[in-house]
Amino acid sequence: MSRAELGPAGIYHRVVVYLLFAILLLPLLGTFIYSISSSWSATILPSGFSTKWYLQLWSDPRFLSAFGQSLVVCIGALILSVVLILPLLFVVHYHFPKLDALMNILILLPFAVPPVVSSVGLLQLYGSGPFAMVGTPWILIGCYFTVALPFMYRAITNNLQAINLRDLMDAAQLLGASTFQAAVLVVLPNLRKGLMVALLLSFSFLFGEFVFANILVGTRYETLQVYLNNMRNSSGHFTSALVISYFFFVLVLTWAANILNKDKSE
């Protein structure tokens, strides 16, 4: 479409969008340039460029361990969320739709309590005794599960309402499918997009979570954000390389998920 076809209003809207996009990218671009500069202090532009900070970062066993441990707790929490939330949502929306309003309130309760307050309570409950889990990944998986619940619940609920669950189930059962077969073979494939959105939102949030990880496990099970906090007094070039690596990983993951989530007809 040419500029003449767009008209003044269309050109204005595009300029505003591009300008906002540039403003959002500017800090990230500055961080990236700083991460590949050999020295940048007394001059407007870097005095040289080098990849040594990235080589130093990705050859650090402590960083690789923190990165892997962050993946373990995030993926573990998301698997637990999917296993528990999907059957629950199906039962609520198909058999007890009136409970949806109550579920909306209960599912948002983790956001009503600040993470610091929740962490203190969890330290009291699981710091000692037969269920001592402080300092282990298990307590983080449990915490991250509750944090991911609102994202998972809202995204999948919206998807269930969009596909008209009851009519879809009735149609499948009229064709001879049992309730279990209809749920697995008919409803579940239609929830693919909603589930993917929920997983992406939850993973992006959990992968950058710091408060629970720092208070409940700290360096005993160092995650990526705890590692970043502990390395804050090191070289700024090094921490910039860490931030860019984190952003690039989330960006690639989101891009891959979008590619896999495309309809086959596209």
Tens digit of pLDDT at every position of the chain (266 positions): 445 556 677 788 888 888 998 888 888 888 888 888 877 776 777 777 888 889 988 999 999 999 999 999 999 999 998 888 888 888 888 888 888 788 878 887 777 788 888 888 888 888 877 778 888 899 999 899 988 888 888 888 888 888 888 888 888 888 888 888 888 888 888 888 888 888 888 888 888 888 899 999 988 999 988 998 888 877 788 888 988 998 888 888 888 777 766 654 34
Q: What is the distance in angstroms between the CA of the first residue and the CA of the last residue of the chain? A: 22
At residue 5, the pLDDT reads 53
At residue 237, the pLDDT reads 84
- Topology adopted by domain 61-260: MetI-like fold (1.10.3720)
Q: Quote the CA–CA distance of 107 and 100 in Å, as a whole number.
A: 10
Among candidate residues 167, 163, 166, 152, the one with its CA nearest the CA of residue 103: 152
Domain chopping of the chain, boundaries: 3-50, 61-260
The residues, ordered by sequence, that sit 6+ positions from 166 with a Cβ below 8 Å of its Cβ are 94
The tokens describing 85, both together, are 């939330």
At residue 261, the pLDDT reads 63
For the chain, give the secondary structure using H, E and C. CCHHHHHHHHHHHHHHHHHHHHHHHHHHHHHHHHHCEEECCCCCCCCEECCHHHHHHHCCHHHHHHHHHHHHHHHHHHHHHHHHHHHHHHHHHHHCHHHHHHHHHHHCHHHHCCHHHHHHHHHHHHCCCCCCCCCCHHHHHHHHHHHHHHHHHHHHHHHHHHHCHHHHHHHHHHCCCCHHHHHHHHHHHHCHHHHHHHHHHHHHHHHCCCHHHHHHCHHHHCCHHHHHHHCCCCCHHHHHHHHHHHHHHHHHHHHHHHHHCCCCCC
Sign of the CA dihedral running 214, 216, 218, 222 = negative
Q: Quote the CA–CA distance of 75 and 62 in Å, as a whole number.
A: 20
The tokens describing 138, both together, are 């298990």
pTM comes to 0.81
